[in-house]
A and B are shown apart, each in its own frame.
Chain A
Amino acid sequence: MAHKFARFFISLPGRLVRGLLTLVSWIGAFFKKIGSEIADIVQTFVHGDWKTRVSYVVMGFGSFARGQYLRGILFFLFQLVFNLYILFFGGSYLAKLGTLGTVQTTTKNRVTTYGDNSFLILLYGILTIFFIIAFIYTWRVNIKQNKISEQILKSGKKLQSAKDDLGAMADSQFHKTLLALPMLGIFMFTVLPIIFMVLVAFTNYDYSHQPPGKLFTWVGLSNFKTMLSVGGANFGSTFSQVLLWTLIWAFFATFLNYFLGMMVAIMINKRGIKLKKMWRTILVMTIAIPQFVSLLYVSKMFAADGLINTYLLKWGWIDKALPFWTDGTWARITIIVINIWIGIPYLMLIATGISMNIPADLYESARIDGANAMQTYAKITLPYMLFVTGPYLLTSFIGNINNFNVIFLLSGGGPLSMELAGNAGYTDLLITWLYKMTVNDTNYKLAAVIGIIVFIITAVINLTVYNLIPSVRNEEDFQ
């Protein structure tokens, strides 16, 4: 493994150069493609009949004139909607995208005159750009269809009827039918908001620039400077502490749970242990019960006046309440320990499922060789598990970087500290810090910066590991 790592990092510069070259060649291919498309559009216009030429202005005209009424109407409706949208709605937002609005909201004699709303300008500006791209694409499809129809008619064949089109929706075009709704949902509620928030990182959108009362505008990279540089009112030192704790947490939450969960699975599955189903069921309780019930309750159990402290005091084991949630280091350890309680059952299930697949003759020959339980575990079970669950470890590590629920429900990110800026606490992960910035401080610009940084960290870890584990890459291997 170490050898593999070394080789990976040595080859890194070469890979980067190769990646850049690929990118350049892609961009080249892209422009070439655009060029050939434009040439084709011109050609179609020059050689096409009048029906085709009218379609350049009125979309769907050609299809309609050739008897493909359904297609013609759909194309035409799309163009109509697009024109109306740009004329009455999108156009004005798009025009202001460069400044995010200039007209301030003013209040005179208790009458508020609303000016520009930077938020809506940004949101609808992005939407309009996407709509324009979609329109250009559809327009191109419309022209291509005319060309194909002309060719089909010239060769004496018949065009597809509306019935054929509908039939294709359930057969050769079935993927479009199935993907239409999910893709629309992903676009509207994931792609659009993500692009919006990424752009917010380059504006000064925060508590003192809140639409509709106030405008916000582009500020370039200054938010990244605030987040990453140290000293003054900058967040650099806090950021590095939160990042460090996030990584430490993700490491322990992933690997501690992994090994302990596997141990428990091995104990339960050992030959001669009875009531296997009962042990499993008891552990799985923590998965079944919603986390907000169990974690909120457990967090109160460890409070200063909670069950644990009161009983320890009552039994005289301690003199004063243990600072589970009030001391930074205590809180961090407590959270990692409680997370074991949550994590082991998942790993137990996974490990049980996988260990069933380990070839039994491996164990048989190990037994004949006189290996004891520890040796069998270290030489057979562990390597096999690591090999098979490599992808799981990766997703689990990244999942833990973003493990909001456990931190939020247990400690809420606390205890707070004077040393940390931006209301960050000792157990805050980047993701809970982002949440606090959004909800408590309405400091959207810095929340967006944290979001982008989390994305970069995730992407780097993913790329590194994908290059190290071959089993994740080849999708077709599983089929």
Chain B
Amino acid sequence: MAKEDRIPEVDIVVDHKAGVIREVHPPHKLRSRKGHERRVNASIYVVLTIISIIWLAPFVFLVLQSFRSYITENGGMVSYLIPKQFSLDNYRFLFQPESQYLRWYTNTLIIALFCAVIQTIMVLSVSYVLSRMRFRGRRFIMNMILVLGMFPGFLTMIALYFLLKQLGLTQQGAIPGLILIYVASSGMGYYISKGFFDTIPKSLDESARIDGATRFYVFKRIIMPLSKPIVIYTILMGFMGPWGDYVFASYVAFGKSESYNVAVGLFRWMNTRDLQGYFTRFCAGGVLVAIPITILFFILQRYYVEGVTGGAVKG
């Protein structure tokens, strides 16, 4: 027994069968364990490096090809990666009126800004009410939204298209029409922010209500200031969503190229037009879309991670 007392750094184990505390790693094994750990870490570094290369490669290729000279080389897909001559030809093309790229970019930006504002108001309203207030019909609303969410989104595409057409919001009016579609049902995405509101203690509301504060006051002055992360997450989602929408945007803008958003415009370049002439231009256009979104994302990444993790746990 005395022997074991003398070596405290060694790993020990309780052997229930024998009823004694037994040492499992003699000192020489401890050293080799450190070596083992170093080997494991080294192999992890190797794996992570390979993963990083795979993850970054497409983006590096995209940027490289966007700088390929359009005049002296081919504008399509070629069998080499690094351009023979770096130039800004493709970017210059994007800024010419004939490409309509700037128009598409502005369209998307307008849609995204409106969505970010209105969608946030809608989502926060619904989630606040469902989290903090108890009233008749609350369960019904939650179950209804759950059931509606089980229908695939594109099912209603034609119905929505004709609804917008009745309002005159297709083709030329596609921008307000798209904002309307994105925003109208956004209240259904209340889950993550409701999960957040649920974590704010109810006693805060109650004590304020006892002091005579109205519900509106509690919402504005007590809950909102505490909810900065989820507000920023909702705004971020509202802003980023419209940049990637191809399906509704192309259906609603149908054939009117001045009403496209960037996704529709670039998708056309890639798929329905002459790809050999537009591949590098697509790359340049993609880079210009990706840069601001990526920067924004990384600035607000903390809030995104909070939202995603909270959402995953709470469902």
Contacts and interface: CB of A to CB of B under 8 A. Distances in A.
Contacts of B13: 368-370
Interface in B270-295: 270, 279, 282-283, 286, 289-290, 293-294
A160 B314 CA distance: 42
A88 interface: no
Contacts of A458: 150
A292 B44 contact: no
A392 B199 CA distance: 19
Contact of B187 (A182, A283, A311, A395): A182
Contacts, number: 270
Interface stretch (A17-25, A77-85, A328-336, A348-356): A348-356
A431 B152 contact: yes
Interface string B289-309: 110011001100100111011
Contact of A273 (B25, B44, B290): B44
Interface in A189-231: 189-194, 196-197
B290 A289 contact: yes
A298 B60 CA distance: 12
Nearest to A119: B162
A391 B282 CA distance: 39
A447 B216 contact: no
Contacts of A197: 155-156, 158-159
Contact of A287 (B41, B48, B160, B297): B297
B52 interface: yes
B244 A296 contact: no
Band of interface residues on B: 35 or more
A286 B181 contact: no
A290 B244 contact: yes
B247 A404 contact: yes
A444 B158 CA distance: 8
Contact of B152 (A174, A314, A392, A454): A454
B266 A267 contact: no
A434 B159 contact: no
Contacts of A273: 41, 44-45, 48
A271 B247 CA distance: 44
Contacts of A462: 150
A152 interface: no
B243 interface: yes
B41 A447 contact: no
Interface in A322-377: 341, 345-346, 349-350, 352-354, 367-370, 373
User: Looking at chain B's contact residues, is the secondary structure mostly helix, strand, loop, or mixed?
Assistant: helix
Contacts of B219: 174, 178
B297 A288 contact: yes
A293 B286 contact: yes
Contacts of B214: 167, 170-171, 174
A3 to B, nearest CB: 23
A179 B133 CA distance: 12
Contact of B305 (A175, A307, A353): A353
B188 A190 contact: yes
Interface of A: 119, 123, 167, 170-172, 174-175, 177-179, 181-183, 185-186, 188-194, 196-197, 264, 267-268, 270, 272-273, 279, 281-294, 296-298, 300-301, 303, 305-307, 310-311, 314, 341, 345-346, 349-350, 352-354, 367-370, 373, 388-392, 394-395, 398, 402, 404-405, 408-409, 430-431, 434-435, 438-439, 444, 447-448, 451, 454-455, 458-459, 462, 472, 478-479
11 contacts: A178-B219, A185-B183, A194-B148, A279-B52, A293-B266, A300-B279, A402-B153, A438-B158, A447-B155, A451-B151, A479-B199
Q: Which 5 A-B pairs have the closest CB atoms?
A: A391-B315, A353-B309, A182-B187, A451-B155, A193-B156
